[in-house]
Structure 1
Amino acid sequence: MRNAFVLAAVAGLVLSAPAAAQLPPLPAPPVVQSMPGGPDYAAVLASPIRTDEDRARDETRQTAIVLGFTGVRPGWKVVDMIIGGGYFTRIFSAAVGPGGHVTAWQPAEFIGFQASYAEAIEAADALPNVDAIRSPIAAPDFPYDLDLIFTAQNYHDLHLRPFAADTAARVNTAAFSALKPGGFYVVIDHYAVDGSDLSVADDLHRIDHDTVVREVEAAGFELDSMSPALWNDDDPRTANVFDESIRGRTSQFMIRFRKPE
């Protein structure tokens, strides 16, 4: 398969950048960073389920802020969508606890493409409250009655040229069906320049923020909230996310959608 797909497949492993003082222009609703009444996630981050490598990445990925934004709680049923190396799968496993459940989805195309993705999904499946799914990217086999579906740095992969043009629409529809009324769909990805077309998914491994909002709302979701916590003024949003000038320091958006009750 094309080299562009190789690079896109590993986009989920790129680290996020610290928030800068100047915030990007964001549409309504008001920007928030976390859901009210959320738990203290310090114990989650300290969980022995996680690796030392995971913990070394927490500061740059601003993981506590991300967890607060998702609102994840013990007992929740969560899907980690396109897990990459399983960083967030292990976090959600610790966060939902023995009374909750995590479904880790690694698309079949990714597993067949890179051995590390096969290893990551096997490791996720070994966790006591995690089940792995390996369905094709355009046909995610999500369970139902979910509290949260989460994806970080991988939504743009749904628009890679090797995949069907309706892949994102099909995944968003599957997410809507799988969530319980009031459930959340959280999308984090690398900012493209405002108004960019979908070619940037292959060329830069980024996506336009407004494109994501339009696509997810078209599946029936409501825009619930956004956070600028992963914005970086120094990212021109025109460089490939693997370019050494910006790698690990890209601006990323966090958007939380809600399935209406």
Structure 2
Amino acid sequence: MYPQSAQSALMRFARAETGFTVIDVYPGDGHWTGLFSDVVGPDGRVCSFVPAEVAHLDNDPVGRSRALAKKPGRENVLAVSADLMALPRSAPTADVVWLHLFYHDLHTALLQARGATPADFNRGVHGWLRRGGFYVIVDHAAAAGTGTRSAGSLHRIDPAVVREEVEAAGFVLDAESSLLANHGDPHPSKVFHPSIKGRTDRFAYRFVKP
């Protein structure tokens, strides 16, 4: 995980506040869900959303999400698992939707197995968010101009494609951060390769719903 200073900076970048509702899409080990839970406090809510398309994975994402929600002090965490496009029926209207190292997966056969597409998902996020809400995406960068070709093989995506797709759904780019940039990253490498694992070139975008 990131150094404490980087984590704090990313939380500020996400613009979550006390009393907010945050949707953490595909929360992994729940690290970010826990951080958002602390920020929004007892009057807020964090929806830890595991798409059903990935619920079967060996790391048991649904079990982890439910276990976190049962921990003392995490009463504001709601564990949800449903088809990717079923989230609006499973969670309250949100102030922040957070995707950490997940957006590229929208371009893989696994996430599209039940008919979802990146365009569908982005329009769905637009519907889930309140007006003025934030859609925050952090992901592994692919080389400029490569589009989505390495989404499945290298787990990377061209940042320009992400911006184009999200803006097409009606969002406006509010801010971007180079906090996680690594210009020494050989972009043709898979993100799990020992030479670059944990140090990939990453981008962060914050979009707003007008």
TM-score by length of 1: 0.74
Contact map agreement 2:54 2:111 (CA 8 A) in 1: no
Is 1:189 the counterpart of 2:139? The answer is yes
CA-to-partner distance for each residue in 1:192-227, whole Å, 9 max, x for gaps?
A: 001113221111000010110011111110111101
Contact map agreement 1:140 1:171 (CA 8 A) in 2: no
The equivalent of 1:81 in structure 2 is: 25
Q: SS at 1:139's partner residue?
A: helix
The equivalent of 2:9 in structure 1 is: 65
Q: SS at 1:203's partner residue?
A: coil
Greater shift in the superposed pair: 193-202 or 141-150: 141-150
Q: SS at 2:97's partner residue?
A: strand
Is 1:147 the counterpart of 2:95? The answer is yes
CA gap of 1:95–1:249, structure 2 versus 1, over 3 A, is same
Q: What is the CA–CA distance in structure 1 between the aligned matches of 2:66 and 2:200, rounded to whole Å?
A: 29
Contact map agreement 1:104 1:124 (CA 8 A) in 2: no
TM-score by length of 2: 0.91
CA-to-partner distance for each residue in 1:1-60, whole Å, 9 max, x for gaps?
A: xxxxxxxxxxxxxxxxxxxxxxxxxxxxxxxxxxxxxxxxxxxxxxxxxxxxxxxx3417
Q: Which amino acid aligns with 1:161?
A: A
The equivalent of 2:191 in structure 1 is: 241
Q: SS at 2:110's partner residue?
A: coil
Q: What is the CA–CA distance in structure 2 between the aligned matches of 1:176 and 1:147, rounded to whole Å?
A: 11
Q: Which amino acid aligns with 1:240?
A: K
How many residue pairs get aligned? The number is 204
Is 1:159 the counterpart of 2:107? The answer is yes
Q: What is the CA–CA distance in structure 2 between the aligned matches of 1:82 and 1:109, rounded to whole Å?
A: 10
Is 1:133 the counterpart of 2:80? The answer is yes
CA gap of 1:230–1:74, structure 2 versus 1, over 3 A, is same
CA gap of 1:117–1:144, structure 2 versus 1, over 3 A, is closer
Distance apart, 1:73 and its partner CA: 1.1
Q: What is the CA–CA distance in structure 2 between the aligned matches of 1:248 and 1:189, rounded to whole Å?
A: 12
Structure showing greater relative contact order (alpha-carbon pairs closer than 8 Å, 6 or more residues apart):
1
Is 1:179 the counterpart of 2:129? The answer is yes
Q: What is the CA–CA distance in structure 2 between the aligned matches of 1:191 and 1:247, rounded to whole Å?
A: 13
Q: What is the CA–CA distance in structure 2 between the aligned matches of 1:242 and 1:120, rounded to whole Å?
A: 22
Distance apart, 1:145 and its partner CA: 3.1
Q: What is the CA–CA distance in structure 2 between the aligned matches of 1:61 and 1:85, rounded to whole Å?
A: 20
Q: Which amino acid aligns with 2:198?
A: G
Greater shift in the superposed pair: 194-203 or 147-156: 194-203
Aligned partner (choices 194, 207, 210) of residue 257 of structure 1: 207
Q: SS at 2:82's partner residue?
A: coil
Greater shift in the superposed pair: 139-148 or 65-74: 139-148
Aligned partner (choices 128, 143, 168) of residue 118 of structure 2: 168
The equivalent of 1:28 in structure 2 is: none
Q: SS at 1:220's partner residue?
A: coil
Question: Is the strand fraction higher in 1 or 2?
Answer: 2
Aligned partner (choices 67, 90, 100) of residue 34 of structure 2: 90
Is 1:103 the counterpart of 2:47? The answer is yes
Contact map agreement 1:153 1:189 (CA 8 A) in 2: yes
Q: What is the CA–CA distance in structure 1 between the aligned matches of 2:5 and 2:150, rounded to whole Å?
A: 23
Q: What is the CA–CA distance in structure 2 between the aligned matches of 1:163 and 1:97, rounded to whole Å?
A: 32
Is 1:207 the counterpart of 2:157? The answer is yes
Q: SS at 1:63's partner residue?
A: helix
Q: Which amino acid aligns with 1:130?
A: V
Distance apart, 1:144 and its partner CA: 4.0
Structure 1 residues not aligned, in runs of 5+: 1-56
Q: Which amino acid aligns with 1:223?
A: L
Q: What is the CA–CA distance in structure 2 between the aligned matches of 1:220 and 1:183, rounded to whole Å?
A: 12
Is 1:227 the counterpart of 2:170? The answer is no
CA gap of 1:124–1:172, structure 2 versus 1, over 3 A, is farther
Q: What is the CA–CA distance in structure 2 between the aligned matches of 1:93 and 1:163, rounded to whole Å?
A: 26
